[in-house]
Structure 1
């Protein structure tokens, strides 16, 4: 078993150095394990245990999907803690000096990558010389370009797709045209909060979530070889659920009346690509990005022309933009959840990644068949 090495002097020196260099932020320190629902496979009594050093792997994860994937792999064979507090938008979070010291003292850091955690490379660099193993879950995947610079004409392209009347073929063309289907892009490390122009939301396509789980599993098996067989067994069981989810998405979205959906946050490019849909985002990758008046006008024009009856917004941020457009065209607004963190309502309803993704599927089926 890989024993956790307590490096008091090194950690204290690192914390002092980071505080002096201004690496801290106003964000709170790491939270407990995202308060995973009791009925979920991710729930575990160890979540309530105090942070006592044991011979288990000490694993820090960046935000909720990484917790869900990692916890389903390790079960009770490791201690897993989420860094970004529940209810905090992950795009906005920065680690404090205390967070960075705690990461350096851990055995493993699991993060999504592809620019989602702009702070990751700084933390990894600061932990050089410690035992920390950093796991980028999206490593090796085809990372798509974002739509930050494209949204002004995105609605026009989607409008053209409708006029052509070739939804299935044009959905793929639209992704290629707006840059969201670029493959083979090296996403690397060290992007800041605009994701470096890349779309990090790979976990929202179940087929890609499966690949992330396998990447995490391989790294954890290397870090704790004596538990490798158990990790694989756990991963196989969880991946079977993800594979069923993928099949349900394929079946549920195959023959919908329409193939486009309007969303406030451009987080669903991978989901759209996997299931032959067209995402029409009001704004770009950042959920806090405010669309211009021209962008709003184009979306309203598109929605009216194509009788869109649902405008999607996401959890953890204001729905005001989606509500404004919905009110303008006499539509309703509804949630399409990017699963960047569990809300209090999610936790009280015992929802996890699988449950929320099924809610997303039902929301899409309803909107695309109106």
Structure 2
């Protein structure tokens, strides 16, 4: 009896250790002498790391492979952000929990919270098609804001400049370095914008069918139209008539590809593709990296370039 009790205690302690190890962030990850930045989204993490360089320690609250729409903060995340110098979140409605979260921060915290999408012309719902059935059935979120600003290099440029200014606001001593790093990143984003402008120029006005309504900014900036299966939330379940009307639209307009994303099941995209007798392909909304992508050294630019290649293949 005594032996089994000891085993139970050991198992309980192991579970506690595992649970603490799964914590997305913690004070132990902070680095003295650097700007400790906590973020809520992979692109923000990547841009902050690029601009902050050696003077910033950037921690993403959301672990690799986790869909950020599904993620909510834990008590240890409150503690971590309270102890950071900078908290960068996307805004535009992506983090529905953020107001309550900020109100719950330690009263002694001096963390600066910055909405990175500030200044971007936001998309409110979508009414892109003349086909009444597609419009009626798939614009469930007409009054919602599309938060997926980062999928367009042009919007990403604004996000990067907001991150630069945020870093300067908490560490003026390294302003010159932050500006220089930002200019390098901005040059790459400007080049990526040029690649998209040139690469998608032959396909102006064409439709793309996607599983998750996360490419509105990309479509707006480069002249495409988006039809989504699941709306702004990747977990929303469409009605059977939604799938049938999209399938009819796909057949009628000669669309050859249904796009799906890696962090969400492709079940509905595959169902629709089978019904419409078309192929499927990945279009990555860059909400996060998978562990495999992390190991392979993938980043915002490599994934965005692959998105462009896949768009060109599908639209030919």
Pairwise TM-score range, normalised by the shorter structure: 0.7 to 0.9
Structure with larger RCO (C-alpha < 8 A, sep 6+):
1
Alpha-carbon distance between aligned partners in 2 of 1:134 and 1:60, rounded to the nearest angstrom: 10
**How many residue pairs are counted as aligned between the two chains?**
294
Alpha-carbon distance between aligned partners in 2 of 1:75 and 1:257, rounded to the nearest angstrom: 38
Report the TM-score when normalising by structure 1: 0.74
Alpha-carbon distance between aligned partners in 2 of 1:31 and 1:351, rounded to the nearest angstrom: 22
Q: Cα offset for 1:219?
A: 1.3
8 Å CA contact retained: 2:204, 2:223: no
5+ long unaligned stretches in structure 1: 1-27, 33-49, 161-177, 183-195
Alpha-carbon distance between aligned partners in 1 of 2:23 and 2:98, rounded to the nearest angstrom: 16
Matched, 1:30 2:24: yes
Q: Cα offset for 1:256?
A: 2.5
Q: Aligned match of 1:250 in 192, 197, 202?
A: 197
Give the corresponding residue for 1:136. 115
User: What whole-Å deviation, never above 9, does each CA across 1:205-254 have from its counterpart, x for those lacking one?
Assistant: 00110010001111110110001110000000011000000000000000
Give the corresponding residue for 1:210. 157
Alpha-carbon distance between aligned partners in 2 of 1:320 and 1:89, rounded to the nearest angstrom: 16
8 Å CA contact retained: 2:257, 2:273: yes
Structure 2 CA distance for partners of 1:308 and 1:280, relative to 1, 3 Å: same
Alpha-carbon distance between aligned partners in 2 of 1:323 and 1:142, rounded to the nearest angstrom: 33
Structure 2 CA distance for partners of 1:302 and 1:155, relative to 1, 3 Å: farther
Q: Aligned match of 2:213 in 247, 266, 274?
A: 266
Matched, 1:307 2:285: no
Alpha-carbon distance between aligned partners in 2 of 1:350 and 1:218, rounded to the nearest angstrom: 27
Alpha-carbon distance between aligned partners in 2 of 1:125 and 1:67, rounded to the nearest angstrom: 23
Q: Cα offset for 1:315?
A: 1.4
Give the corresponding residue for 1:237. 184
Q: Aligned match of 2:175 in 228, 233, 237?
A: 228
SS of equivalent residue, structure 1 residue 76: helix
Give the corresponding residue for 1:156. 131
Structure 2 CA distance for partners of 1:145 and 1:125, relative to 1, 3 Å: same
8 Å CA contact retained: 2:157, 2:189: yes
Q: Aligned match of 1:69 in 23, 35, 47?
A: 47
8 Å CA contact retained: 2:133, 2:245: no
8 Å CA contact retained: 2:205, 2:223: no
Q: Cα offset for 1:105?
A: 1.0
5+ long unaligned stretches in structure 2: 1-21
8 Å CA contact retained: 1:155, 1:299: no
Q: Cα offset for 1:29?
A: 2.4
Q: Cα offset for 1:257?
A: 7.8
Alpha-carbon distance between aligned partners in 1 of 2:134 and 2:85, rounded to the nearest angstrom: 50
Alpha-carbon distance between aligned partners in 1 of 2:161 and 2:99, rounded to the nearest angstrom: 22
Report the TM-score when normalising by structure 2: 0.86
Aligned-residue Cα RMSD (Å) equals 2.7
Give the corresponding residue for 1:279. 226
Q: Cα offset for 1:126?
A: 2.0
Alpha-carbon distance between aligned partners in 2 of 1:201 and 1:263, rounded to the nearest angstrom: 14
